[in-house]
Structure 1
Amino acid sequence: MITDNRSRKDSIIPATIFLVLYAIWAMLVASGNQFIYQFDQNIIELICNNNPVNIKFATTFTVLGNTSVITIETIILCIVLIIFKKYAYMFFTAGTMIAANGYNWISKHAIARHRPFVHHLVEAHGYSFPSGHSVGSATLFGILIILTILLIKNKPLKVVLCIVWVCFPLLIGYTRIFDHVHYPSDVLGGFLEGITFLLIGYSFLYHYYLEN
């Protein structure tokens, strides 16, 4: 394993970059910046439509990002990791998910942004920024990407699985905008936050387990 100090420092750099990006994005949203308004309008005009097929897909697929569903998936993943005695990976998974979703709750109430004032295609409660579906899915499927890279030996299978894991949060984020329950900036903010905690969690996993 790599043990030099340079490698130790480099492993935290991406997490720091995403943390700064998220902080800047959150401040722009909280201040009602004109750039955020224009960003949201442009994406909404590009994505939203009245196509019945798209509506059916968006209102159905978005359920996969519900807090209850993400929680159940996380618990199942942790149980599987325990069964295979991958305890460090289990703590990485559980700790990262708890931290990301806990901070999401704090951010929502600190910024207190209201949801779009249009008809919602699915039921949604609470504040809008950042999107909880986006935070949860980006974090969980990001964890699955890391676990796949670290634990799966078959390279073609590894590539296929990573592509699948990437698609899930992107599609869930898309449905939140299409269903009119989140602004695009909420979804992007959720992705930035989720990736930030994913990288922080991986940094702990690397320094305290993989590196030793």
Structure 2
Amino acid sequence: MNKTIQTKRDTIIPATIFLILYAIWAILVASENQFIHNFDQTMINIICNNNPIIIKFATTFTNLGNTNVITIETIILVIVLALSKRFACAVFTAGTMIGANGYNWIIKHAIARQRPLTEHLVAAHGYSFPSGHSVGSATLFGILIVLTILLIKNKAAKTVLCLVWACFPILIGYTRIFSHVHYPSDVIGGFLEGIAFLLIGYSFLYHYYLESQRAQSNLY
């Protein structure tokens, strides 16, 4: 019993923490808190410049976080998992992505924050907070980290893959700020939301599949 309680804490508590952090961050943004304004301005001054090489990289790499690209990548991943008979992982992937991106659409229209008024380096439509690119990439590549940890046996390969997956959302978030289509606080909000939904999805995967699978294996 104590072990069960501990494992639940290991998954549910981090999810709750990130949900609370996200809620606080969203409230600060929605209320136009001075801290958010100062944070955005400081980060923009650090990140943005006129280097043509970085401009080319940012305007190209940012496409990896487009909704259509993320959707296609998710569908391919779900199909691969289903064909491999990893049905619980496929449901985890699809459910987590639908939940995160669906909620993102709702909160975008609830807060209705306008995008930065400076000239955008790439096309961008809709409201600014949270960054959809950041939510989608943090959730999808977070899912890939979870799947890598669960399914890859080789420790070296597991470590390398996890580091690679972690770099993608960070770079995509960076390109959104650099391209002037999002405030830094939009990107942070997107990361917090994506991670929160990832942890919620993993909690369901753990408790409704992994734990029962482990219990069955102990019977033999």
When normalised by structure 2's length, the TM-score is 0.95
1: CA distance, partners of 2:76 / 2:138 = 17
1:198 has 2:208 as partner: no
1:45 has 2:45 as partner: yes
Who is 2:159 aligned against?
159
Partner deviation per Cα, 1:140-190 (whole Å, 9 max, x = no partner) = 000000000000001100000000000000000000000000000000000
**Which runs of 5 or more structure 1 residues have no equivalent in the other structure?**
none
**Which runs of 5 or more structure 2 residues have no equivalent in the other structure?**
213-220
When normalised by structure 1's length, the TM-score is 0.98
Q: How big is the shift at 1:6?
A: 3.0
Q: How big is the shift at 1:8?
A: 2.0
Who is 2:137 aligned against?
137
2: CA distance, partners of 1:3 / 1:79 = 34
Q: How big is the shift at 1:3?
A: 5.6
2: CA distance, partners of 1:195 / 1:146 = 12
Q: How big is the shift at 1:9?
A: 3.3
Q: How big is the shift at 1:11?
A: 1.8
1:179 has 2:179 as partner: yes
The one-letter code sitting in structure 2 at the alignment partner of 1:206 is Y
Who is 2:62 aligned against?
62
Superposed CA RMSD: 0.9
1: CA distance, partners of 2:143 / 2:7 = 21
Q: How big is the shift at 1:29?
A: 0.2
Partner deviation per Cα, 1:89-128 (whole Å, 9 max, x = no partner) = 0000000000000000001000000000000000000000
Who is 1:114 aligned against?
114
Q: How big is the shift at 1:31?
A: 0.2
State the secondary structure of the residue aligned to 2:49. coil
The one-letter code sitting in structure 2 at the alignment partner of 1:205 is L
2: CA distance, partners of 1:211 / 1:3 = 11
Q: How big is the shift at 1:5?
A: 2.4
Q: How big is the shift at 1:39?
A: 0.1
Who is 2:83 aligned against?
83
CA radius of gyration, larger in:
2
Who is 2:216 aligned against?
none
Contact 1:3–1:211 (Cα < 8 Å) also in 2: no
